[in-house]
Amino acid sequence: MNAYLLYASQCELGEGPLWHTLRKTCFWVDIEEKRIFEFNQNSQRLKVWNTDKRISALFQKTDGNLIVGFQGGIGEFSLQTGQLKQLIEIEKDIISNRCNDGGCDIEGRVWIGTMENNCKPGAGKLYCIENDLSIHIKLENLCIPNGITWTFDQKHMYFIDSQSRQVKSFLFDSYTGHIEQEKTVIEIPEKLGMPDGMSIDEEGMLWIAHWGGFGVYRWNPLNGKLISKIHVPVPLVSSCSFAGDMFDQLIITTAKKGLSKEKLKQFPNSGDIFIASPGVKGMRLPYSQIGPN
């Protein structure tokens, strides 16, 4: 199975893919270039917002605007005005750290990880922001907190710390947001790259972007086995998210950060966004409920 070019965005570090259910468009970010992208597949039109923040994660609100995670905090981004309003601070005084990947649970809480810019082991944390904007540390001593998703019955949360090459399962209480580590469900061999962003499909299988692995891989968290792969024609595959009215497409972000001139010549679509038809549907992501509505 192959992925196909959706748009040649040439991101330094593409991340945060999101299907906007109201606008019916694909969103993603370039963390290093501080940009938010929106692409309409029907009209083939692209819109780009330049910001002054290293935005790494996007979440949709019920009013259509975005909650964004960036270096130093969480904010609300208006798609009408292009203004970013900070809601809370996260490690703002640790200038070597920034927010990375995140997720939104069924109650509308935002979960987001932090990491050190040079991937220093133990420098990262996983935070949960409640709807009243109270913030709680859920995990510490992380390196590169990445993919996070929940099972359809909301009883388990899956989480990736990329350097560990593992997907861990946590018992999850949707009412309180409490998590309790359960077990490691997937071990990624080094030859397949590092696990990065992640989505779950309607069958409970995990689609994981493999940084350095030329693809998005489908894994079974119940037995830890690899099921299939979507080939992406670039090495640094960063994240994936189900998209389309039926959630039967997968949008895939990639990066070119750190690639040599020779590698960029060999893989010229590094940093572009891709799309694939995985043959299975995903689920609509919950809307963020944090902050004023």
Q: State the pLDDT at residue 278.
A: 96
How many domains does the chain divide into?
1
Strand order through the sheet with 273-276: 4-7, 273-276, 249-254, 237-243
User: 65 lies in a domain?
Assistant: yes
User: 175 lies in a domain?
Assistant: yes
Of 289, 292, 291, 293, nearest to 109 (Cα)? 289
pTM of the shown model: 0.96
User: 282 lies in a domain?
Assistant: no
The mean pLDDT values, 10 residues at a time, for the chain of 293 residues are: 97 97 97 97 95 96 95 96 95 92 96 94 96 96 96 96 96 96 96 97 97 98 97 98 96 97 97 97 92 74
User: 287 lies in a domain?
Assistant: no
Q: State the pLDDT at residue 293.
A: 67
User: 288 lies in a domain?
Assistant: no
Residue 223 lies in domain: 4-276
Task: Report the CATH number at residue 181.
Answer: 2.120.10.30
For residue 190, which phi and psi values (nearest 5 degrees)?
-60, -35
Q: Distance between the two ends of the chain, CA-based, in angstroms?
A: 41
Structure tokens at 130: 């409640």
User: 155 lies in a domain?
Assistant: yes
> Which residue has 């972007």 as its token pair?
209
Quickly count: other Cβ atoms within 10 Å of residue 248's Cβ.
16
Q: What are the distances in angstroms from CA 75 to CA 71, 88, 146, 158? A: 11, 7, 19, 25
Q: State the pLDDT at residue 108.
A: 95
